Amino acid sequence: MTIRIGIYGYGNLGRGIESAIRQNPDMTLAAVFTRRDPSTLKISTPNVPVCHVSQAEDYADKIDVMVLCGGSATDLPEQTPALAKTFCVIDSFDTHAKIPAHFANVDAVCKQAGTVGIISAGWYPGMFSLNRLYAGVILPEGEDYTFWGKGVSQGHSDAIRRIAGVLDAKQYTIPVQEALDAVRSGAAPELTARQKHTRECFVVAAEGADKARIEQEIKQMPNYFADYDTTVHFISAEELKRDHGGIPHGGFVIRSGKTGMDKQNNHVIEYSLKLDSNPEFTASVIVAFARAVHRLHSEGQSGCKTVFDIPPAYLSPKSGEELRATLL
């Protein structure tokens, strides 16, 4: 019996789920749900129904885990609890401040309906959070450091696009090597925003636009750029498409802490990701945790969980015996 996955929302993340399912032989794609006219949507997997979101209920017995691929701002706060009435669900809700409220909403529905939900799966929140938890319990006296990139920040790219005279733009967040090295040395430095990251912008300007003014507007933008060393490159639309079409990302979670009777020994725990495709990697994490959703439900559990609550063995198709013999 394979685990039957439904995809609810077919953007970058939904397509990532579709391709991740192909890499996991114990899973099949059962259906894709869209708010668009289903007849206009072409998916990559043959013989899989594409349905309007209004038809989801009809699939109650045909889907083991529904993966919600909408946005955190308005989609998921509504959709995840609504679908948890009928399905086991998983999402990648990433509005950190609202996680407790979202958890409570999903948990209440799941417990009532006898379903299992996992919220906020991905790499942040998700794998980065998990690694902070592990590192923090091992080294209770220490400092956490998080570095982002090299990667595309959607929010910063959007901010540049809103400047008059800008046709398109892409912004990369880049960790500063010297800061990384200082943290890795165990020196536990205090670092400002500027010391930790630089920002590099590739901008397509409208014909005749004042590039000096655009560059200045970018570099002086409060919160987004003013606190960083920012580089601006003006390039053509063709160059932007050719050289900056990907969605790479990544980052580093580092904890530096001390042990010993006199706190004389330093230790550095580092977890890092280097990702060619942010949405495909996020999808790959979600799919592994979808396996745990199904297993918990098969055991008769219900309620909302996060990555913190899942025994790692539940993410694997292998048995406990096999894992102990081959991986421990």
Contact between 148 and a copy of itself per CB under 8 A:
no
Of positions 132, 150, 197, 295, contacts a copy of itself by CB under 8 A? 132
Nearest to 326 by CA among 317, 22, 57, 168: 317
Buried b (16+ CB within 10 A) or exposed e, 290-313: bbbbbbbbeeeebbbbbbeebeee
314: exposed, middle or buried (Cβ count in 10 Å: 0-12, 13-18, 19+): middle
From residue 171 to residue 210, the character string flagging contacts with a copy of itself as x (rule: CB under 8 A) and all else as - is -------------x-x------------------------
Q: How far apart are CA 198 and CA 193, in angstroms?
A: 9
* H helix runs in the chain, sequence order: 12-22, 75-84, 99-113, 127-138, 154-161, 177-184, 193-196, 211-219, 237-243, 278-298, 320-326
100: exposed, middle or buried (Cβ count in 10 Å: 0-12, 13-18, 19+): exposed
Of positions 24, 28, 86, 95, contacts a copy of itself by CB under 8 A? 24
Least spacing, CB of residue 203 vs a copy of itself, in Å: 25
Of positions 62, 96, 211, 213, contacts a copy of itself by CB under 8 A? 96
Q: Are strands 142-148 and 116-118 parallel, antiparallel or unpaired?
A: unpaired
Residue (234 or 271) nearer to a copy of itself, CB? 271
Please tell me the count of residues contacting a copy of itself according to CB under 8 A: 70
Classify residue 185 by its DSSP letter.
T
Least spacing, CB of residue 65 vs a copy of itself, in Å: 15
Of positions 34, 105, 120, 153, contacts a copy of itself by CB under 8 A? 120
Least spacing, CB of residue 106 vs a copy of itself, in Å: 12
Least spacing, CB of residue 157 vs a copy of itself, in Å: 19
Residue (38 or 186) nearer to a copy of itself, CB? 186
Of positions 178, 239, 243, 309, contacts a copy of itself by CB under 8 A? 309
**Which residues does 199 contact at the CB level (< 8 Å), separation at least 6?**
156, 171, 172, 173, 174, 225, 228, 229, 230, 231
Residue (181 or 210) nearer to a copy of itself, CB? 181
Please identify, among the stretches 31-39, 75-83, 235-243, 253-261, the one whose residues bind a copy of itself according to the rule CB under 8 A: 253-261
Contact 255, 139 (CB under 8 A): yes
Residues of the shown chain interacting with a copy of itself in the complex, contacts defined by CB under 8 A: 16, 18-20, 22-24, 44, 96, 99-100, 103, 120, 125, 127, 129-134, 136-141, 184, 186, 259-261, 264-277, 280-281, 283-285, 288, 291, 306-313, 315-316, 320-321, 323-325, 327-328
